[in-house]
Amino acid sequence: MAGSYRAPLGDLEFVLRQVMPTKQLLALPAFSHVDRNIVSSVLEQAARLSEEVLAPANFEGDTTGCHIDDGHVTLPNGFHEAWIRFVADGWVGLDLPQAYGGQGLPRLVQAAFAEMANGACVAFCMLPLMCRAAARLLHEHAPSDIVARFVPKLTAGEWGATICISEPQAGSDVGRIQTRAQPADDGTYRVSGTKIWISYGDHALTPQIAHLVLARTPGAPPGTRGLSLFLVPKKRLAFDGSPTEANGVSAVSIEDKMGLKASPTCVMEFDGALGYRIGPEGRGLRCMFTMVNTMRLEVAIQGHALGGAATARAIDYANERRQGGSPDEQPVPIIEHPDVQRMLLTMRARTEGARALALEAALQLDLAEHAAEEPQRIDAAVLAEWLLPICKAYGTDTGFEVANLAVQVFGGYGYVTDTGVEQYVRDLRVSAIYEGTNGIQALDLVTRRLLNDGGERLGLFLGRIRADIDRHGDDKRLDEIRGGLTDAVESLERCSRALLQTAPEPQPAAAAATPYLRLAGLVGHGWMWLRMAAAAAGRSPLHRQKRLTARFFARQLLPEALTHEAQVLAAAAEREAPDLDALGAY
């Protein structure tokens, strides 16, 4: 039924305990306060929170949506209760520094928690995501008095936060931002302008909201180099830091959206609001990049979180719903029909590949910060940078495909609102758009990650995969996935070489970016399936499921590499832009 959620605890434990080097990670000094039992206990509590507190709020949230009245946004009822519990249990600061009241757990564990929480109620999770991203950003770039006043509150979930980038004329093109920040005599600024697509721009869950706003100081150059970052609190601060009177920031409207209806998407008006500059003038975008990793990883997680939730529902339904078979006998559960099996196996293969790859990215973010030696930290940072646009775009695209397959498994019942399955499709549709559209992610991968360094980052990625292929070279049971993955890796190499040869022409690489990212994503999932299949050597149903799904992935999904490669090579060979007059002719 709608509102039900089954946390994939067994699957998550499998990846964390048997596929990822979690033990080695926890042995690092930064995690001396954490051990495997603590991790397991956290995950169990997260599963309970997700199933018992967040999931029940999800369907109601979609039905009720948000409302705005005179600048005040009202959230669905269940969200208040859920937030109290969420904050009381300290979930916001799970992976934030202990110095500010966080629990200092690895991002790897946070990512496993985030899958369950988002799978249960993605609209709710947008708020703690903003708190975490803001806390990390301020921790890194804000002066110490701002850090002291804001970061503990954000870490605790006592105050909310937003990220204010887009404006009506500046979406993907952030360099066109027009919001102005006028310096005042006391070193603060007065911020004025309109921001759009602001998640949780207003609500009554917290008495204070920290808006992180990109704006332009007087005389700043055009483009992104003229952008600075400001912290604009909803309420001005009293001497003791507590919120007092209103600060010239207000939500003027909220969007009526396809999905994610319980997460208010606000148009925010800043009218001479007091703001504190964070970081140097003209370095606003660079400061914002601090949280890009956090945001991209979380949006990537939304993909397999909702995909996984939809998959669990579809598997249950396929076991219960009976149709077909001989008319003289009882109908058979639809899971017995090969085309339903094809859909369910596709769903599992995509979801679990995306999950493992996102957890790998989280692990690399942990290592980038906490690994013992500097070369390890640098490699981890580079690998994380390579993986994150892939996880974000490929994870949300495949998650959306999976959610749609769930609707298909449910048939007519999937199209009906009450079942709660079509909500996954609607909620997830935006994940390919926000936090940088998936097209922007692909461009980012090809231009900033591949072409800019002549393929060095790619080399690191492929080196890790090859090492794993070699490591399992003798295992006959892995022949299919290993062989398929080897082919796909070679395909990615050919495509990379072709793109490197197109530089510095911008058109071919840009035209090839999306199929290139998809090929890289497929290779990434293949890498994870090799490791999962290798780890699943036992007789338990879970291990048999991993081997079955790895085989399906190798036989039915890895061949997508053939199409992606042909697309990349054809686009790379195309030196001219298409005839735009003709493109739009009717």
Can you tell me the distance from the alpha carbon of 319 to that of 331, in angstroms, rounded to the nearest whole number? 12
What residue type is assigned to position 108 of the chain? Answer: L
Could you tell me which stretch among 74-82, 266-274, 315-323, 489-497 binds a second copy (CB under 8 A)? Answer: 315-323
Residue among 531 and 551 whose Cβ is closer to a second copy:
551
Residue 193 in 3-state DSSP?
Answer: strand
Least distance from a second copy to the Cβ atom of residue 334, Å: 8
Question: For a second copy, which stretch binds (CB under 8 A), given 83-91, 128-136, 164-172, 357-365?
Answer: 164-172
Does the protein bind a second copy through residue 178 (CB under 8 A)? no
- Shorter beta-carbon distance to a second copy: residue 186 or 579: 579
Complex with a second copy: residue 250 or 404, whichever CB lies closer: 404
**How would DSSP label each residue in 444-505?**
IIIIIIIITTTTHHHHHHHHHHHHHHHHTTT-GGGHHHHHHHHHHHHHHHHHHHHHHHHTT-
Contact characters 325-344, a second copy, x per CB under 8 A = --xx--x---xxxxxxxxxx
> Which residue's CB is nearer to a second copy, number 144 or number 330?
330
From 37-45, 52-60, 375-383, 432-440, give the range in contact with a second copy by CB under 8 A. 432-440
Interacting residues with a second copy between 520 and 539 (CB under 8 A): none
Q: Which of residues 21-50 bind a second copy (CB under 8 A)?
A: none
Q: Is 563 in the site for a second copy (CB under 8 A)?
A: yes
Q: Which is nearer to a second copy, 361 or 568 (CB)?
A: 568
Cβ-based burial of 121 (10 A; exposed 0-12, middle 13-18, buried ≥19): buried
**What residues between 228 and 267 interact with a second copy by CB under 8 A?**
255-259
* 544 lies in the binding site for a second copy (CB under 8 A): yes
**Which of 71, 97, 272, 439 touches a second copy (CB under 8 A)?**
439
Degrees, nearest 5: CA angle 307-6-155: 80
- Residues 402-431 binding a second copy (CB under 8 A) are 404, 407-408, 411-412, 414-418, 422, 425-426, 429-430
How big is the CA angle at 347 (ends 308 and 39), to the nearest 5 degrees? 35
Q: Which of residues 489-518 bind a second copy (CB under 8 A)?
A: 507, 510-511, 513-514
Catalytic residues: 435
Q: Given the complex with a second copy, which of 298 and 487 has the nearer CB atom?
A: 487
Tokens of 163: 């990220």
**Residue 579: helix, strand or coil by DSSP?**
coil
Residue 389: count of CB within 10 angstroms of its CB: 26
Taking phi over 0 as left and psi of -120 to 50 as alpha, with beta for the rest, 245 belongs to beta
Number of residues binding to a second copy, judged by CB under 8 A: 103
CA atoms within 13 A of residue 418's CA, in its CB half-sphere: 2
| Total count of residues recorded for the chain | 586
